[in-house]
Structure 1
Amino acid sequence: MTLVEGAAAPADRPLRRNREFLLLWSGASMSFLAARVTAVAYPLIVLWHTGSPLAMSVVSTAALLPLLLVQLPAGALVDRWDRRRLMLVCEAGRAVAVASVALALATGRIAVAHLAAVAFVEAALAVFYRLAERGAVRNLVHPDHLPAALAQNEARGRAAGLLGQPGGVLLQSLGRWLPFGFGVFGYLVSLLSLLAIRKDFQEERAGTPQRARLSSEVADGMRWLWRQRFLRAALGYVAGTNVLFQMLALALILRVKEAGLPSATLAIVVGIGGVGGLCGALVGGRIQARFRQRTLLVGGALAWTLLIGAMGFTSRPVLLGALYAGTGFVGAVFNVAAAVYQVRTTPDALQGRVAATAGLIGSGTNALGSFAAGLLLAAWGAEPTVRGIAVAMAVLTLFAVLAPDLKGELRDDRTNAEADAGPRPPDANR
């Protein structure tokens, strides 16, 4: 099946009338919301049952490990297997795993080892689901509608974050098992929406080639990504900014504490920041369509430098929130632009591996950011650390301006992608 045939919707049909995409989007929305609700509930439940910060840390770490351990093999397996069937298995598996926690809580038979195991399984299946869904989108929408579709996906993730965290806390206060009961409901709704979709989630594979070793297939995705000059340089830039934003998130917590403000102030700052990210996601598709990739990188980096720099000179909650919202707005636009670029330029058979490699680079740098933040905050305090983050962002902006590989355009990497993917119908490369 070619990309155009799999895309199903003609260009003159609005995205809002694309039945297959709407089913996928709405089901995934419930899935993402369910994951956010259960994610915030795990540490609360552990702390409530054991009173041990160490036990809470064990379960939280178990939920994060799949981002480092599972992504690369998951990317290769997603490219091997049928995406739709894989997503069905993921949702069924998550529903069963989370239901076991809800049942254990309802009967009073909860154990830290059980919670850690379920947190790991749920997060691992989420990695598979997200990689498969990213590749499926371009086979359900017309190429002209891809930016808008991926912008809606980014908005969905931002909205799930805004609603899921307070929702999980509220449900947990009403009943210890309720966040996990909601998780079961969300995953089942997602599963039913997948069953209702009639179109294929991937192009037809030519023949049944003999499978190479998993490590070889992972390496194939990495080699393809390394040959794309713009993508390679952009990922290096993104890795650097992820380190800085992980540091900024921790610095804001200390900033609020050092200013003598109540802890609820942090919720105000983060909440306003989340709204900025949601707004950026909603308009990200239109912005991405009007500007070159390099313009977005350089302009966004400059905006981040100014916004973070200003955060180093104020402790007013509303102003901090507004500045944080500005960084979230730019970040959401970046995410949309990066998703469109990656999905368009990557061959369908490599979608999982390329997305997994990019995700590993992003999540891998988060740990470095947390560690560096701890050292700097202990040595300098919050205000100088935020200013130092702004200086580091200015250095990354200079990198974005001067890096020769970031001067390449979509045309260059698309040519490489087409050469690797083989011939395609003319309309498939719009």
Structure 2
Amino acid sequence: MTRSGSDLHPPAPVPLRHNRDFTVFWTVQALSTLGSSFSLVAIPLLVLHATGSVAQMGLITGIAGAGTVASGLFAGVLVDRADRRLLMIWCDLARLLLYAAVPAVWWTAGEHVWLLYPVIGVASVFQMVFDVACSAAVPGIVAREQLTAANSRLQATYGAGFVLGPMAAGLVAGLAGPVTAIAVDAATFGVSVVGLLLIRVRPVAGASGGADDGRPRAVWQDLAVGVRFLWRTPVLRAITLLYTPVTFLSLGLVDVFIFYVRHDLGQGDRVVGGLLGAASVGSIVAAVITPAVRRRVGFGPAWLSAYLACGAAIAAAGLVFNLAVVLVAAVVFAFGETMAAISSASLRQTVTPEHLLGRVTAGFWMIHHAFGPVGALVLTSAVARVGVHGPLIAVGVSFLAVVAAGLFTPVRARHVQPADR
């Protein structure tokens, strides 16, 4: 049988700028990120104002990390079995109610710091499920060859949200208190729900909750499918193992930077918001240039050089006691983190069959986040005990060690072939 010309030359995908579903998805996630950046600033400030303890800030971050790890046990299975768009809608509705509970209680019954712990813990579960569904949904909205560009645009707008959000959150927190900033975050989840109702996501070919013989699989068996794929794919196995110490080292860094600026440098909430907002300029720059960098140097050099920059920036922040140096370090760190994240997500979406993407993404995040809560507690406890400088230098040097280890793994490769679909 001969192939037609259309089979030999499939039609070009719709450009991203003309893809209505991606444009709406992109816009509402940027707005949601703007709101989330309010909580990124407001919750640590609320804890710091109420307790004055960096260790308590680390405990909140650790609880969020633990929720992320725990939800990884089922998030990927749920994403691969359910309608991904509807799943994201339900997650946004749940987070709207959870975050709205904080201002509702604060404004009617007074300060109750204890409420933050269950709210953040449960919200982190829905956050994990949403993030897995969001990552797995992108290939159902854009063509495969557009994944890096789509991820870069998403990361660019996320970065823009984190430029405007922390500065606005610092201003709102300074004028009306951190609780009001959390209320803004709750409202943005409602905007995200409306946007998600307006888009379509292609159904996943080959998705099922059953084994090859048609019998239903247990959740743990479905999860094991994703973990096995990770382990049997050399580059995914290597990057998962390398990300584990990275997450351990970095999960508590935002708390440390906030404490550094507020406590050691004696600056106010507005400066904290401005610092985090300015740092996000690095994220935007990384999102804009990463597709070109990936085309020019390939995956491995882009990922490794991104974390080389992160390590150098963190070590510099620990070595020099100066607000300007901390600002530059935060910008460079955000740049490196974003370039690495875009490269990693695009690689995972490219090499993983679409019907496995939820389980593989969840398995990836669950494994490398497993020690993140412990890392946040260790880092913030060390800062509380010995100060900021020594721990930051140790974290920076450890990042450089991760990069050195990566040079001896498949992560160093410029190009990786996708798995059979």
TM score, norm. by length of structure 2: 0.81
**Cα gap change, 1:316/1:99 in structure 2, threshold over 3 Å: closer, same or farther?**
closer
Task: Write the distance in 1 (CA, Å) between the matches of 2:56 and 2:255.
Answer: 22
Query: Secondary structure in 2 aligned to 1:402?
Result: coil
**Two-structure CA RMSD over aligned residues (Å):** 3.7
Paired residues in the alignment total 405
Task: Write the distance in 2 (CA, Å) between the matches of 1:28 and 1:267.
Answer: 21
Residues 140 and 201 in structure 1, CA contact (< 8 A), matched pair in contact too: no
**Cα gap change, 1:158/1:72 in structure 2, threshold over 3 Å: closer, same or farther?**
farther
Corresponding position of 2:34: 33
Task: Write the distance in 2 (CA, Å) between the matches of 1:409 and 1:224.
Answer: 21
Question: Aligned runs of 1:179-218 on 2, under 5 Å?
Answer: 179-200=181-202, 202-203=204-205, 205=207, 209-218=214-223
Q: Choose from 242, 248, 254 the match for 2:247.
A: 242
Q: Which moved more, 1:97-106 or 1:217-226?
A: 97-106
Letter in 2 for 1:203: A
**Cα gap change, 1:163/1:364 in structure 2, threshold over 3 Å: closer, same or farther?**
farther
Task: Write the distance in 2 (CA, Å) between the matches of 1:99 and 1:255.
Answer: 29
Residues 135 and 201 in structure 1, CA contact (< 8 A), matched pair in contact too: no
Corresponding position of 1:336: 342
Question: Aligned runs of 1:277-296 on 2, under 5 Å?
Answer: 277-296=283-302
Letter in 2 for 1:77: L
**Cα gap change, 1:286/1:366 in structure 2, threshold over 3 Å: closer, same or farther?**
same
**Cα gap change, 1:14/1:398 in structure 2, threshold over 3 Å: closer, same or farther?**
same
**Cα gap change, 1:27/1:330 in structure 2, threshold over 3 Å: closer, same or farther?**
same
Letter in 2 for 1:66: G
Residues 139 and 203 in structure 1, CA contact (< 8 A), matched pair in contact too: no
Letter in 1 for 2:195: S
Letter in 2 for 1:17: H
| Counterpart check, 1:226 vs 2:208 | no
Deviations 1:278-311 (A, max 9, x none): 2212222222232222222343344445444544
Task: Write the distance in 2 (CA, Å) between the matches of 1:194 and 1:326.
Answer: 33
Residues 282 and 332 in structure 2, CA contact (< 8 A), matched pair in contact too: yes
Task: Write the distance in 2 (CA, Å) between the matches of 1:317 and 1:51.
Answer: 24
Residues 255 and 315 in structure 1, CA contact (< 8 A), matched pair in contact too: no
**Cα gap change, 1:167/1:72 in structure 2, threshold over 3 Å: closer, same or farther?**
farther
Q: Which moved more, 1:174-183 or 1:147-156?
A: 174-183
Corresponding position of 2:76: 75
Deviations 1:325-357 (A, max 9, x none): 223212211111111000111111211121112
Q: Choose from 317, 327, 344 the match for 1:321.
A: 327
Letter in 2 for 1:239: T
**Cα gap change, 1:176/1:10 in structure 2, threshold over 3 Å: closer, same or farther?**
farther
Residues 235 and 411 in structure 2, CA contact (< 8 A), matched pair in contact too: yes
Query: Secondary structure in 1 aligned to 2:73?
Result: helix
Letter in 2 for 1:227: R
Q: Structure 2 regions of 5+ residues with no counterpart?
A: 1-9
Task: Write the distance in 2 (CA, Å) between the matches of 1:106 and 1:69.
Answer: 31
Letter in 2 for 1:153: L
Task: Write the distance in 2 (CA, Å) between the matches of 1:184 and 1:382.
Answer: 32
The sequence identity of aligned pairs, in percent, is: 24
TM score, norm. by length of structure 1: 0.79
Residues 102 and 181 in structure 1, CA contact (< 8 A), matched pair in contact too: yes
Letter in 2 for 1:283: I
Q: Choose from 258, 261, 267 the match for 1:263.
A: 267
Kindly state the Cα deviation for residue 321 of structure 1 after the two structures are TM-superposed: 2.0
| Counterpart check, 1:160 vs 2:161 | yes
Residues 45 and 178 in structure 2, CA contact (< 8 A), matched pair in contact too: no
Residues 155 and 278 in structure 1, CA contact (< 8 A), matched pair in contact too: yes
Q: Structure 1 regions of 5+ residues with no counterpart?
A: 1-8, 422-430
Letter in 1 for 2:38: V
Kindly state the Cα deviation for residue 36 of structure 1 after the two structures are TM-superposed: 3.4
Q: Choose from 353, 370, 379 the match for 1:373.
A: 379
Question: Aligned runs of 1:36-55 on 2, under 5 Å?
Answer: 36-38=37-39, 40-42=41-43
